Structure 1
């Protein structure tokens, strides 16, 4: 007889992991912030993602900007490195991740390619810093660290 999975869970230790991420605070010439809308939840967020093994954190930031927006930038500046108990994600399984996040700042030059994707079905938009939409928790926290909000 096999015991139910919920009974086995009490014998399996929960795991804690440290996850390194890069986030990009990308702005246009007017100082507006680039955000990406989450298709399912409707909230907005800054480009961010997990560092891959063997990858430099700067390369992670460039890759995430490219993967999530289709845009590149010639120059990114490291704005800060954030970690701590506020950057914790608890999974339903009980496992937890503690994030170490490098926050970069980038400048997006608005050309015809940028204009064609902003405000389109791509879910990308520039927002004035005084009128930001509903952000996901991680973006809100990172922007607070950057003193935007």
Structure 2
């Protein structure tokens, strides 16, 4: 059982603060890696919640590998995002306020593989992004990757 599941035993679907990491991977064409999430059926950055004892960097590395099969050998912190604008309610009712460290993986190896959290993994031009989930829009706005009027 992961940390969020453990907390949910006590608070149910009520809002919680969810620390985590999101990872930006750019290919040689400066296209961004996105995953079509199986839980929300929309596109977002690889990433996820922090487990007890993990650092933001460890969370980023673990989530990137689990969700994409890629190994980040070098990470650069490019932003922090939190607050009211990062409130999210999942389709099943759980409510969270994300507190997210945003990293860019500057060196990655491995082969893309889809796991249970993803329906698809694709690289997209920053000028031709698919419909992104709300949280990803807010994270990319925070670091200046997309204009604030995209929503």
TM-score range, shorter chain: 0.7 to 0.9
State the secondary structure of the residue aligned to 1:86. helix
Q: Could you list the runs of 5+ residues in structure 2 that have no partner in the other structure? A: 1-10, 147-151
Q: Distance in 2 between matches of 1:44 and 1:92?
A: 15
C-alpha displacement of 1:109: 5.4
In structure 1, the partner of 2:133 is 136
Q: Distance in 1 between matches of 2:59 and 2:36?
A: 20
Deviates more, 1:80-89 or 1:49-58: 80-89
RMSD (Å), alpha carbons:
3.1
Structure 1 segment 30-109 matched on structure 2, within 5 A: 30-39=29-38, 41-90=40-89, 96-107=95-106
Is the contact made by 2:23 and 2:64 (CA closer than 8 Å) also made in structure 1? yes
Equivalenced residue count is: 133
TM-score for both structures, normalised by structure 1:
0.75
TM-score for both structures, normalised by structure 2:
0.75
Is the radius of gyration larger for structure 1 or structure 2? Answer: 1
**Segments ≥4 residues shifted beyond 6 Å:** 91-95
1:125 paired with 2:141, answer no
Q: Could you list the runs of 5+ residues in structure 1 that have no partner in the other structure? A: 1-11
In structure 2, the partner of 1:7 is none
Tell me the alpha carbon deviations over residues 95-115 of structure 1, each in whole angstroms, 9 at most, x when there is no partner: 74222100001136587x35x
**Structure 1 pair 74–95 and aligned structure 2 pair: CA distance change class (3 A):** closer
**Structure 1 pair 91–139 and aligned structure 2 pair: CA distance change class (3 A):** closer
